[in-house]
Each structure stands twice: as C-alpha cells, then as structure tokens.
Structure 1
C-alpha cells in the first residue's frame, strides 16, 4: 500500500503572515491511504465543488472536532472519500450537513455560488434600491406587509416619495404572503411597484399610493445620521451606524472628528439595524468612542482545536485583538475619550455590533437601550476553491465560496457564548390595542431617526438629562400585535455576519 497525502493547506501562512516556513507533522495533516491498484474501477468525483467544501470545513471550521464526518481520519481511501462526497447532490446540501447543530449552535455559516456578490457586500455594495424594511404579519394571517425602517442616503428610494414609518401591502399588485415575499421582493425583478397602505384599528388596507423602485448596484454608506442635539445644556452626539464596512472607516473617523469639534459631552450610538461586518471596523469604532485604552485587550479569539493549539504554541499574540489609535492606512483615530456610551439595539443588532458592546463593557459604562440583540459572538472568513483557500488562483470553473464560522470572541474578562443575545439595561416596550405589552419598535409610533422625541433616542436623552419627553411619558396611541417574518438585511450575502478579511488579518 502507498500513503497519499492531501496537499497541505497554506491557509496558516495566508492568515497569520508568519515569517518562517510552516511545517506539519503527519498528525496535523489529513491522510488518505490509497490501496494498491486493483482491477476494480476507482470511484470518480461527481462534483469538484463538494471536495472543496469538505476540505475547507475540515481545515478551519470552528467546530470541526465536534463533527464526526469532518474528522481527519474519516476516510482511508479515495474511493471512500469520493463515495461520501457523491452522496450529496449539491454543494449546499453537503455544506449544511457538515455544520454543527445547524440553526441551533451554528446559525450563521453559509455558502454562496457567486463570491463576487459576496465580496461586494463586504464593501457595502449590493443589488439594492436603498429601501430598508421589515416584513411582519398580523396575528396568524398568512398575509404579510412591510414597514419602512429607513431610506439609504443617495439611493433610488431616496429620490422617491417613500419614508420611514410607511407601510406597503402589495408588490406589482400582488398581495405579499409568507409564501411569495422572497420572489416578490428579493427575486430577479429589479424594478417593482409597492402598493402602500394604512393601518386603522389593527386593520391594514391599501391607500391608493404606489411607489416604483429600481435596484441597481448600490454602495450604502453605513453612516445614516450624524448630528448633535443640545438640550438642557448638554451636547449629545447621535450617530446611526448601519454596518461595519471597512471601506467607510475613514468616513466614520471623519464623523467622529465632527462630533469632537462640536464639543459633545455624551454619545448615543444607534445600532438597532446594524447586522455586523468587519472586526477591524468594530475595533476602530471602539477606539473612536474611547481612545484612552490604546494597546489594551479588546477581544480574544478561540479557534478550532487544531488552530488553537498551533497558535498558542507559536503566536499567542495573534489570538488577541487590541485597541488601536490608527486606522489601517495609519490615519490617526479621532477619539472622544468617553467613559460612558449609550447604545440603541434591537434583535437586528448582531455580530460586530454585539462585539462592540461586549468588549467595551470591561472598560467603560455601556448603557444598552432597546431590546435583546441577535446573539452572535462568532466570526467567519471567506474560503475560495484554491490551493491555499485564498482568492488568487481560485478555480475558474465555478464561483462558489464558503463563509464558515472559524472563531468565537470573548471580551477582556472572558465573556462570550451569549447565545441568547445581549440584554438591554433599559427595555423599550409599548402597549398594543389588545392590552398586551410588546417589546421593541412600535410600528404606529416609529418617529423620525435623530429626532429627540423618537422613542429609543428619547429614552437615552432622558437618562442623560433627567428629563422626560412626551413620548417617553406614554402619551401615544396603542400599538399593534405583530409577528416578524424577515428584514432586508436577511437577504444580503453578508447577512448578520462578522468577518475577518484574510489580507487584513495579518499582524
């Protein structure tokens, strides 16, 4: 018999940028024994993408050691290996089958068949009309309606007569339902017409208004609102930040320079619609809020058993992310040096948003206002079908890439594993027409983002100044009982993700 070793991944070198050559012992490789040639016809691989999927997950998936089918010694011959891979008709089905307790523990690893679209999403670019909305339904009805959360600046939607707090019930004249909303709103139709609606006495009906929207390749600036509110002698900075997009780190730094120049005393950071993104951007933002902890531990990382053991033995510093006073291009960070920050959250606040909250808490007073966050304490990287899983020399036969979770983050005090999200210090609730108490945003009283009487912001201002706004005082009409179906962020390639770019992960 002869021993045939699969090619050793160059991923360690690619990610960690080590200055010495990396060598493995045999127990650090996946070894396949191939029997001597026989007269039997060897098994052939039906889909080369399947091999890439399995090998990539075996290499670096966070829970590799917990999935028996990803074990290094799972196969002894190529016939066994290919027979196993051929048992899955699509790369997607194989990928899902290899995940650890999918949708329970691992809710966020994913596979794409177009890595160009994925790369664009990391830069804030997607096929979009700029309308951010959430889809909900009343009671147990299959009928779905949407409400506008915000309109992205400089987008197609920004040129149309549609605003935050408006409702829509149909798309191209067709009622939205739980069965068709994906095709109607997130399908191949780049142009569609929304049928707008009003809600009266917990009943929604069309109001005759229509809005035509067109999707194009659009890059959304995640800084939606940046302003200063002066009240009761206090200057309060308000920043609504909707995505951790590294391409806009300089814009974010400039926004903090503006707040700093106006001499703000307090900061309200609105992350209620922020699904996450770049770890580096999260570190930069935290440095802008503070600035007095440069070089201190921001977060620590835990990888799969193979990588963790290797890093602890050879480069333990790599497992630590530290506060910095410079952006990636060495631009000095504009720091406010605050000892307290007010952060607004909802169930849509995920990943890097949660990372900022969790990792600032050991250092300053973080006052969280709103509802419980998503509960994502893990980060992923992009793997391509190439010898070292990098973008260069990617297989030209397809555009598949996988985005597996590869690490979990903990703050300076070791706090991690917040499966159920981060609980706010001040829960935002409202009373519905049925008398029930609901959590989160009241669709009938959304208010204007950045306005001091908008409910979430008003609560922060009341805590800062000790005053009470008329909305905080509860003098609003009753809300409605709803069930959330999905939102716009769920249908971007990144989704509610936190990631480390390979080229930016090198220290």
Structure 2
C-alpha cells in the first residue's frame, strides 16, 4: 500500500463526525459582553466570534489574541474587536491563523443548514472553468455533470459540452460569477479545435430552482470479462442520503462484485460520519477497529484524554446513524478516481482505508484537507437551541485534524495517485461508461491489461468551478459541539 499522503460569506464548512455530546456547561470565567454606550457598536456578533474561537479553534495557539490571558478586562477585548469593520473582517483578519484556508463565517445559518441537507437553488449545471490561454482573461466552461430533472437536463445540456458566453457576453476570469448569478441566463456553446475556441450558434436558456440533490449520481454493475465490477459516482458526503448510498452498496453486494471503482473526482467532501460509514461499506472485516483519530487544540485534547479518550477514536461502524445495518463488501482493494477537486471527506476515505486495504488511486493529486470544522451558534453553549435571535451569524472554525490508524495526517499537498491521468476537455466521456478515460484506466488495471494512459494536454489552465461560492465547498464537518470546559 502506498503511504502518501478564509472563508466565504454564507459558507459554513462542517466536518461530520459522530459521538460528540452536547452539554450546557457554564463558562465560569468567560467575560460576557457589556451593554454598549449610546452611539457605540454593540459588538454582539464580534464577542460571539471571539468566544467561540477562544474555546474551540484548532490553531488557537497560533493566534496570540486568542490566549486566555490576552485581555485583562472586557473593555480591553472590546477595544480589540472594535478595530475590525465587520464580523467577517474580524474572523478573517483577526482570529484565524495564517495556515488556515478552510475556516469560515456565514451571516445566514438557515441557508447553510438547508445546503447540508442537500437543498440548493440550481440550474442543474456542474462545470469547470478554464482559461483560454496563458496570457488572456477569457475563459470557457466545460459541463461535468447535468443533474436529473433540472432545467439543464430538460433543455438537453450534456456532459462534455463547452460554453464560453452567457447572455451574449464572453466569459472572463473577472465576470463569470456575475454572469452566472441570475436565476435565468442563456449559455452560448463553443467547441475546441486543438487550442482554439470556436463559437457555435447553439444556445440554452436555463433557470435555477430549488433542488434536492441525491449525491449517488451513478451506480451500476459492469460485467467485464467475467468479472462483476461495481462503479459508483458519488458527488458529496451528504448525511441525509446515507440510506441511498447504503442501498447502492446493497446492490453491489447482491451482485457479488469482485472489484469496486469509487469515483470521487468532483467530490469536495461533507459529513465525516458518512465517510466513515462508506469505508465500512467498502470493507466490513474491520468492524470496531480504528478508522480515524481526532486531534483537537491543546486544551480540548487534554480534556478528552483525561475524561474520555475513546471520544477521540472514530471506528469502523456496522450500522448507520439510523440503526440500519451497513451493507459491506469485504473488499481487500478499492480503486478510487480523483482530481484536484477531490477534497476533505473524500481524502478521509482514502487515508483512513490505506492502512487496511490496497487503495489504488487513479487520476490527479487531491486538494489536501485533513481538518474538520463544526458549526458554532451564538448561544451559551454554542448550540442551535437558544441561539441569539437578533442575528443569524454562525462560524465554522476548524476544530480538529484527522489522523489515520498509521499516524498519517497533514497531507497539505494532497494525496498523490498511483496512476496519473487528467481529464481531456475534448473527450470527457460519460460517467459510468467503460470507455470513459478514467474508468477505462481503472478497468485496465483491474483486468491486468496493458496500461495506456492518454497523453496529458497542458493547453488550458483551470481557474475555478461551479459551487465555489456555496456554503459547503470542499468541507468536512461534525454535527455536534463538545461540552464547554472550565477555564
């Protein structure tokens, strides 16, 4: 086996583990905010942000102003908080560490909660954005996915199509967010001829509407040269769809698949508990053994070690949170398809399984995110119940990092593939088709065929993708907040 291994407004990054308990402990020494003098800022939100980061932030030791003795009085703390123009400014520039790329703040936690349940407003397009040339600002988009029963699906948009105009305007690296923001917009198609972008006359008018996304996008059994090979394209680790994921593995189990290709190429993460359960679906023979260990800031790590060290251990499960029995394949090898967009919980599955089975990674190096966050609300114990009703801010700080059973963590440069292949915008293929380049390579490896990897074409540089501004972009989360500790 191989041993490889701030923030968006309205983005709440959560890394879902299980087994964390909520307690309404009082903070004996925490200084509550004092009433504002007429004409002064109330600093209610700012004090909530500071208090939450002071308790739970993974990198607290790297932010001197978060030290418990940083301020002698509440007035001193308020003077510090008042130096920042907004809650976002404070969070981004005052209380997060320089190495933190993944903590964030939201001003509407209701929207965040809906997204965590798989609910969003979308036209159905999932796309990547690519620069036309190294010295120009023009970009084009290539369609990666079309969600079923959406406007894009109904209008006939397909994976592999390219568009470079929206409402008649050329896409650039500075206008694409604005052009694609309206609820209704028209895309103009184009095609690639070598390194040239040729405009086509065909257009599609698309409309966004509320949509509940099932992340189990493609699941099928391929009968290849006498083998039953399971293939699943999984788009995000959304806990509300754990049953659908388990059902897909149930079909693989019934078909007695000998091999599994797990396609996480666009999966930016999500629930840690779901990732842990997926690992158990792939295996099953390691029930009760350590999948991942949590490492918190020094104060919470010491607290957990002295009161409940088992609390830090996330083990292979046999049931879902609902109690439903996990469908396990008992495999000793899995083939995982990745790109630079594979992040967070996707990487957790790879790293967590690596000490136990042969994880054959095919594609590109992953993002490199091994930390988890949790949603903190403005209440005494930072839970949703009794949250301050004068605002809807919440923060999503990194609170822990994951370490696999072999001690591997801190893969800041991502996880490297065993077989390198990149997507060809002129030949994306269809997900689940045995001739799609990534899947074809995986099948060749499975069957022991001569490996022929298409030559990588470095003609275009990726600049972004759909969903970059969404609350859960490249996030892992836990859903429960630890009890407060006395200071």
Q: CA deviation at 1:198?
A: 1.0
Q: Which residue among 298, 315, 323 is the counterpart of 2:308? A: 315
Mapped partners of 1:173, 1:42: distance in 2: 51
Q: Is the 8 A contact 2:118 2:213 kept in 1?
A: yes
Deviates more, 1:298-307 or 1:494-503: 494-503
- 8 Å CA contact retained: 2:229, 2:259: yes
User: Retained in 2: the 8 A contact 1:350–1:376?
Assistant: yes
Find out whether 1:393 has 2:396 as its counterpart: no
Q: 2:290 aligns with which of 297, 316, 324?
A: 297
Structure 1 window deviating more from structure 2 (395-404 vs 240-249): it is 395-404
TM-score w.r.t. structure 2 length? Answer: 0.91
How far residue 113 of structure 1 moved from its aligned partner, in angstroms, is 1.0
Greater displacement, 308-317 / 389-398: 389-398
Counterpart CA distance in 2 for 1:258 and 1:450 is 16
Which residue does the alignment assign to 1:336?
Answer: 329
Q: Which runs of 4+ in 1 moved over 3 A?
A: 21-24, 29-34, 41-47, 98-102
- 1:267-278 aligned at under 5 Å gives the runs 267-278=260-271
Offset of 1:504 from its aligned partner?
11
How much does 1:489 deviate? 3.0
Report what 1:112 is aligned to: 106
Q: 2:460 aligns with which of 482, 495, 499?
A: 482
Aligned positions, number: 463
Aligned residue in 1 for 2:65: 69
Task: Quote the offset at 1:400 in angstroms.
Answer: 1.0
Deviation at 1:488, TM superposition (A): 1.3
Task: State the match for 2:176 in structure 1.
Answer: 181
TM-score normalized by structure 1? 0.87
How big is the shift at 1:145? 0.9
* Other-structure match for 2:123: 129
- Is the partner of 2:380 in helix, strand or coil? coil
Say which one has the larger Rg: 1
State yes or no: 1:172 paired with 2:176: no
Distance 1:171 1:216, change over 3 A: same
- Aligned partners of 1:147, 1:386: CA distance in 2, in Å? 44
SS across alignment from 1:354: helix
CA contact (8 A) 1:444 1:479 kept: no
Cα offset, 1:156, TM superposition: 2.3
Whether 2:92 is the aligned partner of 1:96: answer yes
Structure 1 residue ranges without an equivalent (≥5): 1-13, 35-40, 429-439
Q: Per-residue displacement from partner, 1:155-182 (whole Å, max 9, x unpaired)?
A: 2222121111111111111111111111
Q: Is the 8 A contact 2:188 2:204 kept in 1?
A: yes
Kindly indicate whether the alpha-carbon contact (under 8 Å) linking 2:382 and 2:481 is maintained by their aligned counterparts in 1. Answer: no
What is the aligned partner in structure 1 of residue 376 from structure 2? Answer: 383
Matching of residue 255 in structure 1 with residue 233 in structure 2? no
Residue in 2 aligned with 1:5? none
Structure 1 pair 412–43 and aligned structure 2 pair: CA distance change class (3 A): farther
Written as runs of structure 1 = structure 2, the 5 A alignment for 1:4-403 is 16-17=20-21, 29-30=29-30, 44-102=40-98, 105-138=99-132, 139-185=134-180, 187=181, 189-403=182-396
**Partner Cα separation in structure 2 for residue 214 and residue 206 of structure 1:** 22
Q: Does the 8 Å CA contact 2:65/2:95 hold for their aligned counterparts?
A: no
| Structure 2, gaps ≥5 residues long | 1-17
Which structure has more relative contact order (CA 8 Å, sep 6+)? It is: 2
RMSD: 2.3
For each residue in 1:97-153, what CA deviation from the matched residue of structure 2 results, as whole angstroms up to 9, or x when unmatched? 135444xx2111111111111111111111211211011102221011100011122
1:453 has 2:457 as partner: no
Q: How does 1:396-411 map to 2 (within 5 A)?
A: 396-411=389-404
